[in-house]
Structure 1
Amino acid sequence: MSAADAARSEIVGKLARGSLLSRLIGSRKSPLRLTAVPRDHVDGNRARGDALLAGRFVLGSEAVPLADLDFAALGADGPFAESLQGFSWLRDLAAAAGREKGAKVAEALVGRWLVAHGTRIDEAWAPELWGERILFWTAYAPYVLSSRESGYRSALLNTLARGARHLDANADKAPAGLPRITAWAGVVAAALLIQGGLPRVARSEAGLMRALAAAQFEDGGLMSRSPEEQLLLVDRLGLLRAAYFAAKQTLPDLLESAAAAALAALHGVTMGDGGLSSWQGGNPGDPARVAALIEGCGLRARPLRQARGWGYHRLSALGTILVMDAAPPPPPKMLAGSASTLAFELSDGAQRIVVNCGGPGLLPHHLPHELVQALRTTAAHSTLTLDDTNSTAILDDGSLGKGVSDVVIDRSEDNDSSRVTASHDGYLRGFGLLHQRSIVLGNDGKEVRGNDQLLPKGRKKIRESAPFAIRFHLAPGIEATATADGMGAILRPPGAPPWNFRCRGAMLSIEESLHVSGAGEVIPTLQLAVVGEVSALGGQTAWQFRRSS
């Protein structure tokens, strides 16, 4: 008997004991069943699935042997525990194994979860975890409900029903944003798929629409302004759409519109390699995973270009893509927010040219706390920093303080180019200066022209002068060589033609930098730093990136 078979037999044995089984089943007389099983069209991560078959759960930089996994001791705090408790890994398992082989692993782990958490309401019953659990248990019912052991099946189905009732009463207690949306998506999925639930669908839909309205801008982006969370939002709504189709129920128009808008906003922050641009402490992620979620969600949408609420403006021309942050940071209560206003990222085809330093995002990591906080600063983004001060303060507790409250945007397109001009007031209180950035992308995709201005406004005046630095963090692998006059550099990316950089109005230096990869690894790289001083009268610096061929 294999280890997986032995583990499953042990779990089934525990569930078959009268006291535990009766507590899991309750007093219900007739057996429960799912009325339909949704089909998840998103391909999972085969490597992570293979690791599960080999007896290890891997996420980011952390791993645990399944033989040592104790759901009771695991808790539900942090990305690693949340991923295990939410059961999204069933998708990866299915990518690596068919039902017969995968069910041995899945049922053993579900059985352990039932023993640890099925008889009492604890931290694993958090609304957002139950919402995710319902979406994945129902979509992968063939993997978790293949057992012929009636005790196990009854325990799982009845715990699922109890979880759905608990969630129905507690979904609004989940934190606002993606967690509350996930909770309500689980409520709707349970109403659609568990027998007897259809009368509750309309009420559940109303709760979900409330959660979406409180978390989404009108243009479809989340108010957290996190591309990683936006990716998960598209995934959650895609799984829910699959539940509607499986149940042969009509998807409400408002929900379909919200899902399509969410996808358009996500498209708007993807770069030429298919990965995400790095904002709000996030990183590019895995381009293959991003592509799988977009392809499998069942929706189609064009990239959002003019994002008034979501705030990320997209310029593109013949394979060159530029994404600019032209909005205030997220609300202070969202601790992962960054002081990145007016920064941008640039890619040439699949090659990234200009990046932000990024951060660990939603993955488990072992990066020092001081580094993670530093990655949220203005200096860690490709924009202007005045007197080494963040455009929005980052407080000691990780929350955002005073700074950018208003961003004024003007965008125009013509036969030759696309232009975005935006200004923010983050330096007005401390220095009496507005930062205005104008970026123009030529329609041949070969040239990006920029102009950074510091404009005096209000009564506050700096006494003499203040130093500034305009940073352009370069993607890993790009070689940078300064020109003889010290006002330019030749950039040689490994996967694209060379680019030339020029600046006017300040001096250029090439300095060390770093970038957090989609796997959460810190990679040394370079940055172009255009440095100078500004007086109370303000000043401006022009710069240009031009592809050599």
Structure 2
Amino acid sequence: MSDDKLGRLAKGSLVSRLFGSGKQPLRLVAVPRDHVLGDRTRGDALLAGRLRLGSAELALVDVDFAGVGTRGPLARELHGFSWLRDLGASASREKGARLAEAIVGRWLIAHGSRPDDAWAPDLWGERILFWTAYAPYILSSRDSGYRSALLNTLARGARHLDANADKAQPGLPRITAWAGALVAALTLQGAQKRLSHAESGLMRALAAAQFEDGGLMTRSPEQQMMLVDRLGLVRAAYFAAKQGLPDALDNAASAALAALHGVTMGDGALSSWQGGNPGNPARLAALIEGCGLRSRPLRQARGWGYQRLSALGTIIVVDAAPPPSQRMAATGCASTLALEISDGIQRLVVNCGGPGAVPTDLSEDLVLALRSTAAHSTLTIGDSNSTAILPDGTLGKGVADVTVDRSEDNDCSRIEASHDGYVKGFSLIHQRRLSLGNDGKEVRGEDRLTPKGRRKIKESAPFAIRFHLAPGVEATITADGMGALLRSSGAPPWNFRCRGAMLQVEESIFIDGYGRMVPTLQLVVVGEVSAIGGEIAWQFRRSS
């Protein structure tokens, strides 16, 4: 961005006139160090005057915060200032500060004088996390009026959070709000007296949103990654302030990372659950490397619900829990007993996924369809969802009870799980049995439907077991029509076989880490089931 454009963007003297320089500014007593490396590509775009997120872009020259508003992912990205991390990855302090201070100055002019929509507790929490971590980029100015305005506004925001953080939506928004309040108490002059209050608030927010096994009750891997990020920045603030991290907070952070590891596939990106997609593997790797936490993948998750099997490079992740409650997640998915499989860096079986929290060009109808059971690698009966998705997008009745049993021996690891989502409509329980050989070469499965309840099927009902294939995986049906050869560039060939139904190969789609739709294929095992139930066996086996 040119010097004259930066000058028009900053208008630092206007900040001085609006806020004055007579009031003695506060100071930061500690500056946390963010060890998570940002995205240099996004940082370069920022330096060129563009803020990018997903399919959306915002010009920063003469940016009007009031005009941008606070609704939508891109607007919230701008107001939260998490993009400072990407700027820090691309620009030196001197070069980056000119842009960062210009945009902060604009924000102060638009929103610094009085509370408004930009003062939402979760936005203030995120803003404090990144303003303090990147203080060298936003507090290098020689304009004392600007510095005074920024620090005093930050202090007002912290006091605002002390009183309003609990008004944020339960889950990650409330955790973010209290995380910001806590970091302010650790880093801002005179705020240490509020440390205990902020610690208690954050622990309450975590207890209300996080299962005992560390996973968020939204069951969203994308939000889980953000949770780990938030807690990593809080830890950095404790270290910067030379304060001891409470054991309960340290344990919650470690458990959160273990849950995140549990839904990571062999390519280092996330598995696709609850409307999310794999994301950027480099971003996830940078977060795990820089968050300061170390933990092993959570294999058996009761609350979080994602069961993990792994052997010599083969990874399976299974959704073995009901969808999240409407209170915690407005757009949950009917994905119970779906699975994903990867062989090394090559994904084999996936779910279709969704755009997650980034702007997208996908239609509303498609995003809604991507939440259906059929968009996941599991069984459907009568082309219906295991948990109803109502016309307004909320989840209705369906899966309420999920049973899970795991076992391991010298030959393989096993999971046996069932759900009751089809009892009301078809009086059938869906049970899925999985085993992964300890050599990683064989995945055996069985989908069993057993009768339960009074509403019997009169004659029969169609069923389909879908295995959505990752982009780049080619499927060739065998001569007998009961199997397929799966070829890809990233792994040896795999053979698929089924018994008890017929196999078809159909078109499918996959939402990639940028929220874009990619065409792919799916294996579909089809048949009919009667009131007495039935079972279908299948197998994936690596050729070498």
Instruction: State TM-score, norm by structure 1.
Output: 0.98
Report deviation, 1:460: 1.8
- How big is each residue's C-alpha offset from its partner over 1:277-327, in whole Å with a ceiling of 9 and x where there is no partner? 000000000000010011110000000000000000000000000000000
Task: Kindly report which structure 2 residues correspond to 1:263-412, keeping only aligned pairs within 5 A, or say none.
Answer: 263-333=257-327, 334-412=329-407
Aligned with 2:527: secondary structure? strand
Match of 1:154 in 2: 148
Letter in 2 for 1:341: T
Task: Kindly report which structure 2 residues correspond to 1:495-514, keeping only aligned pairs within 5 A, or say none.
Answer: 495-514=490-509
Report deviation, 1:264: 0.1
- How big is each residue's C-alpha offset from its partner over 1:187-227, in whole Å with a ceiling of 9 and x where there is no partner? 10000000111111111100100000000000000000000
Task: Kindly report which structure 2 residues correspond to 1:167-206, keeping only aligned pairs within 5 A, or say none.
Answer: 167-206=161-200
- Whole-angstrom CA distance in 2 between matches of 1:83 and 1:29: 31
- How big is each residue's C-alpha offset from its partner over 1:120-175, in whole Å with a ceiling of 9 and x where there is no partner? 21111000000000000000000000001101100100110011111110000000
Report deviation, 1:11: 1.9
Report deviation, 1:429: 0.7
- Whole-angstrom CA distance in 1 between matches of 2:537 and 2:202: 47
In the alignment, is the contact (CA less than 8 A) between 2:8 and 2:62 conserved in 1? no
- Whole-angstrom CA distance in 1 between matches of 2:23 and 2:152: 11
237-246 or 394-403, which moves further after superposition? 394-403
- How big is each residue's C-alpha offset from its partner over 1:97-131, in whole Å with a ceiling of 9 and x where there is no partner? 01000001100000000001011211110000000
- How big is each residue's C-alpha offset from its partner over 1:364-386, in whole Å with a ceiling of 9 and x where there is no partner? 11210000000000000000000
Report deviation, 1:455: 0.5
Structure 1 residue 413 corresponds to structure 2 residue 411: no
Report deviation, 1:30: 3.5
Match of 1:219 in 2: 213
Structure 1 residue 531 corresponds to structure 2 residue 532: no
Match of 1:127 in 2: 121
- Whole-angstrom CA distance in 1 between matches of 2:232 and 2:8: 33
Would you say how many aligned residue pairs link Structure 1 and Structure 2?
542
Match of 2:511 in 1: 516
Runs of 4+ in 1 over 4 A off after TM superposition: none
Task: Kindly report which structure 2 residues correspond to 1:85-100, keeping only aligned pairs within 5 A, or say none.
Answer: 85-100=79-94
Report deviation, 1:234: 0.0
- How big is each residue's C-alpha offset from its partner over 1:48-101, in whole Å with a ceiling of 9 and x where there is no partner? 000001111111101121114211111111111111110000000000001000
Letter in 2 for 1:435: H
Report deviation, 1:332: 2.1
Report deviation, 1:494: 1.6
In the alignment, is the contact (CA less than 8 A) between 2:23 and 2:148 conserved in 1? no
- Whole-angstrom CA distance in 2 between matches of 1:5 and 1:469: 58
Letter in 1 for 2:8: A
- Whole-angstrom CA distance in 1 between matches of 2:498 and 2:216: 35
Aligned with 1:13: secondary structure? helix
> Unpaired runs of 5+ in structure 2?
none
Match of 2:16 in 1: 16
Match of 1:488 in 2: 483
- Whole-angstrom CA distance in 1 between matches of 2:309 and 2:209: 26
C-alpha RMSD of the superposition: 1.0
Structure 1 residue 54 corresponds to structure 2 residue 55: no
Match of 2:4 in 1: 3
Task: Kindly report which structure 2 residues correspond to 1:434-449, keeping only aligned pairs within 5 A, or say none.
Answer: 434-449=429-444
Report deviation, 1:459: 1.5
In the alignment, is the contact (CA less than 8 A) between 1:456 and 1:538 conserved in 2? yes
Among candidates 202, 206, 214, match of residue 208 of structure 1 = 202
Report deviation, 1:490: 0.2
Among candidates 226, 231, 235, match of residue 232 of structure 1 = 226
Report deviation, 1:31: 2.2
Among candidates 236, 243, 258, match of residue 242 of structure 1 = 236
Aligned with 2:265: secondary structure? coil
- Whole-angstrom CA distance in 2 between matches of 1:82 and 1:226: 19
- Whole-angstrom CA distance in 2 between matches of 1:169 and 1:11: 32
- Whole-angstrom CA distance in 2 between matches of 1:81 and 1:401: 31
In the alignment, is the contact (CA less than 8 A) between 1:384 and 1:471 conserved in 2? yes
Match of 1:548 in 2: 543
Letter in 2 for 1:11: K
Aligned with 1:67: secondary structure? coil
Report deviation, 1:397: 1.4
In the alignment, is the contact (CA less than 8 A) between 2:306 and 2:319 conserved in 1? yes
> Unpaired runs of 5+ in structure 1?
none
- Whole-angstrom CA distance in 2 between matches of 1:31 and 1:155: 8
In the alignment, is the contact (CA less than 8 A) between 1:332 and 1:401 conserved in 2? no
Aligned with 2:399: secondary structure? coil
Match of 2:245 in 1: 251
Instruction: State TM-score, norm by structure 2.
Output: 0.99
Structure 1 residue 112 corresponds to structure 2 residue 110: no
In the alignment, is the contact (CA less than 8 A) between 1:44 and 1:91 conserved in 2? yes
Match of 2:64 in 1: 70
Match of 1:429 in 2: 424
In the alignment, is the contact (CA less than 8 A) between 1:420 and 1:439 conserved in 2? yes
Report deviation, 1:4: 4.7
Aligned with 2:107: secondary structure? helix
In the alignment, is the contact (CA less than 8 A) between 2:42 and 2:86 conserved in 1? yes
Aligned with 2:217: secondary structure? coil
* Structure 1 residues 485 and 545: alpha-carbon distance in aligned structure 2, compared to 1, 3 A threshold: same
In the alignment, is the contact (CA less than 8 A) between 1:4 and 1:105 conserved in 2? no
Letter in 1 for 2:88: A
In the alignment, is the contact (CA less than 8 A) between 1:4 and 1:108 conserved in 2? no
In the alignment, is the contact (CA less than 8 A) between 2:211 and 2:217 conserved in 1? yes
